[in-house]
Each structure stands twice: as structure tokens, then as C-alpha cells.
Amino acid sequence: MWNRIGRVVGPALMTVGALAGLAFAWTSTLDYASHLDRQVHDLRCGFVPGVVAAPGADEGCRAALYSPYAAFMRDKLWGGIPISTLAIGAFSFLAAFALHQLITGRKASRRSVSFLGVASVTPLLVSLFMAYLAATRLGTFCKTCLGIYFSSAVLATGGILALLALPRETSLPVPTVPDGRSAMPSPLPERPEGKWAFVVPWLIAMALCTTSPAFAYLKSAPNHDARIAACGTIEKPLPAKSELAMKMTFGRATGATKRLPVTLIVDPLCPSCKALHKRLDADGFLEQMDIGVLLFPLDDACNWMVDRPVHAGACDVAKAVYCGHKKGQGAQVLEFAYENQAALTALAKGKEGKDAGKAALAMLESNFSGLGACVADKATGKALDAMLRFAVANGLPVSTPQLVLGDKRLCEEDTDMGLIYSLKQLAPELARPLL
């Protein structure tokens, strides 16, 4: 049995796993690359590589795509280099090596089997690390990533089986029937030992294969520098001591004395705002920023610039954030709204105007007492109007989120994949993130 496992089953599993992993990594890379045009596109998000996901069924893949863990060198290149390019190279190498062993069978040296067995486990180790990050940092798994994890597991299983078979293989004779007359037992050929010296070129080949797609990506990626700086400045900035932008402290307390003044224009019920907030937090930028929050609810109950409740109930939730700020809890209320965005949206859904707001507000009040009276106060509505008129005075786009560094506007297209690179371009003083 171990003979068959070592000669066929192990290499075959490795070949299949590596090819499947390659297919998932390839589609993931294509999705990433398609977003280099700074627009939003459908994703090939599914358990079958290459199939475009139905609208709304790609949240996990999109969260992964925009996460800090999807790419590296993100402060050197817009969007960075997708980590899946490394997977393309590694799976290609491993697929070819495994196929070679499948063809050569017992003629493959023990050294090569050992090398491939150990190498085949590396994608699984990386997958486990990425799965841990997805579970703990993103709170969601993308189907394409799960495909890579599963493929890595198949690959590693094949490699481990081949490794386990190595000391268990025998040279027991197998029956052969020459000329169809008599069974003449002949021993299996001994697997050659191989040379340690071959391990070095194999390692070099693996390293070259693994990194070459990343180099190719780096070489062909477009330069967005001119576009990053093209979104202009705020023409009528707020006075230094203006209370219109609500000063809030987010992120870990670092005691940093010098923080970059930043204005965040957000809608508490806008998923993109929540995602940007998470990205800024995960990348360690929030704690380097002196943030003034301006509320811009995309809800026609209070915002005259929209003709429908894009985010029903957002007006009252925004007022609740303002009221929380007056009580010194603005950051907490806003982050609570982000964390419970789905629930708040569900409460407001299907209701109109004030009823939508009331439903969402009830949930906020159960966690932050005393908001109701403040939300109903005319002065609160007036403050919100003033924030909306700031957008009018500066001719800002009717969209959220918007981020202003000092008086420089960050383009909407730069708030997701290209966030780190764009921030570094507009504000070089921001500390470099880890990834």
C-alpha cells in the first residue's frame, strides 16, 4: 500500500492540490489587478475558480481584497503587490515538481521526495496564518481564499503521505506475466538516494518561480501619483477652533503628541465608511490622526442633496453621534453604530422618514442613555445642517466616506486598495505600516 501511496497517491494529490491552488490564486490576482483602474468591479468569488459572484454574494472576497493582508509593499505601490502573486508562483512550481514525481514514480530520488514533501506544507502554513487573520481581524472568509486554503491542505496531505511512505516503501516483487505464460517475480527498483546538492537549485528555482509573478506585476502596475494629487484642496476650510468638525479620538492610545489633522466626512450607516474606519485602524493610522468628524448622512430625511433614503435612519443615527459627542462619547457612539450597522440598517429598513430613524435610535438609546431628547432638539438638527452646508460651501461630492488630510482631499478611489500608498503620498509624515 505504501508503495502505491509514495509512487502515485502522494504525487497525484500534490498535483491536483497545486493546480487547484494555482487556479484560485490566479483568479484572485486577476480580480485584484482589475481594480487597478481605481473603480469597483464584480469579483470572481466562489468555490469554482473564475466564476463571477452574484451581486451581494462577494462581501467576504471584497473585505479580503481591501484588507491590509491582501497585498504587501502597499506603501511603495498603489494597492501594493497582491500576495496571491506569490501563490501563483509557488503553486506553479509545486504542480510541476509533483507532476514530475508522478511521472518518474520510483525513479524520483528520496531527496526530491523529501524536498517536495516539506515544500508542499509551506502553502498550508501560510494559509493557516491567513485564515487566522481572516477570522480574527476581518471576521469573514472569502470563498476564493477558502479555495486556496483547501487546495493547500490537499497539497500538504499529498506531500505528507509521500514523506510517510518514503521509509515504508519496499522492494517486494510484483507478479509479471512475460509472454502470457509464467509469472516471474521481479523486485521493484530501489528509489535512488539523490544528492543534497540538488536541494540548493531546487530552492533557488522555487524562490524564482514564487517571486517572478510579483516582479512582473510590479513592473506593469500603473502609476497613480498624478491622480492621487488631483482631488484638490478644501477651498473653505474650517477655522482652527471651529466646533463644526467633532474632535474624536480613535484607535489605541499612543500618547503621540503630534497628530496629523484629518477631517473624516462620514455617514454612520454607510458600509464604506465603516470599512474605511476599520482599514485606518488596522493599518495603525487612526492613532496618528487628530480627527474631526463631519456627518453627512445619505438620507433624505435631513439631507436635501439626496432624493431618497440611501441609508434609511442615517439622519437620526448621525444626530445621535453628534449628541454623543456633546456628552464626550462621540467616538464610542460612532464606533457602536459601525459595529452594529447591519442591525441598525435592518431596524430602519422598510420604514420611512422619522419612523426609520426612531427604530435605529431605540437601539442606540439602549446603550447610550439620554440621546433621545438631544436628537429631537432643534439645535441638533441645526448643527447637522451646518455640517451639510460645509459640503455645499466646498462643492464636495455627494458621497461618503471622504477623508481630508489637512486641507488636501483624498480621492474616493484612493480610500480602499490604494489607501496606504495614497496617504503616504499626501502625508509622508504618517508612520509606515507593518505590511
Strands (E) in 28-116, as ranges, are: 71-72, 81-82
Interface characters, 285-324, with other proteins (x: CB under 8 A): -----------------x-xx-------------------
> In this structure, which long-range contacts are made by residues 259-262, counting pairs with CB atoms below 8 Å and at least 24 apart in sequence?
259/288, 259/289, 259/290, 260/288, 260/289, 260/290, 260/405, 260/406, 260/427, 260/429, 260/430, 261/289, 261/290, 261/292, 261/405, 261/406, 262/289, 262/290, 262/291, 262/292, 262/403, 262/404, 262/405, 262/406
Query: Is residue 34 within the footprint of other proteins (CB under 8 A)?
Result: yes
Cα distances (angstroms) measured from residue 63 to each of 36, 66, 157: 16, 5, 29
For the CB of residue 346, give the shortest distance to other proteins in the complex, in Å: 27
Tell me which residue of 98, 103, 206, 100 sits closest to 160, measured CA to CA.
Answer: 98
The Cα angle at residue 431 between residues 417 and 61, in degrees rounded to 5: 20
Query: Is residue 209 within the footprint of other proteins (CB under 8 A)?
Result: yes
For the CB of residue 28, give the shortest distance to other proteins in the complex, in Å: 10
Q: Are 317 and 289 in contact (CB under 8 A)?
A: no
Binding residue for other proteins, selected from 241, 258, 308, 382, defined by CB under 8 A: 382
Question: What is the Cα–Cα distance from 179 to 199, expressed in whole angstroms?
Answer: 42
Query: Is residue 103 within the footprint of other proteins (CB under 8 A)?
Result: yes
Q: Between 97 and 115, whose beta carbon lies closer to other proteins?
A: 97
Interface characters, 63-102, with other proteins (x: CB under 8 A): ----------------------x--xx-xxx-xxx-xx--
For the CB of residue 25, give the shortest distance to other proteins in the complex, in Å: 8
Q: Between 92 and 263, whose beta carbon lies closer to other proteins?
A: 92
For the CB of residue 162, give the shortest distance to other proteins in the complex, in Å: 15
Query: Is residue 388 within the footprint of other proteins (CB under 8 A)?
Result: yes
Binding residue for other proteins, selected from 110, 137, 227, 351, defined by CB under 8 A: 227
Tell me which residue of 63, 79, 69, 75 sits closest to 418, measured CA to CA.
Answer: 79
Tell me which residue of 77, 424, 410 sits closest to 285, measured CA to CA.
Answer: 424
Q: Between 132 and 304, whose beta carbon lies closer to other proteins?
A: 304
Query: Is residue 327 within the footprint of other proteins (CB under 8 A)?
Result: no
Binding positions for other proteins, rule: CB under 8 A: 19, 22, 25-26, 29-30, 33-39, 85, 88-89, 91-93, 95-97, 99-100, 103-104, 107, 209, 212-213, 216-217, 220-222, 224, 227, 302, 304-305, 378, 382, 385, 388-389, 391-392, 394-399, 412
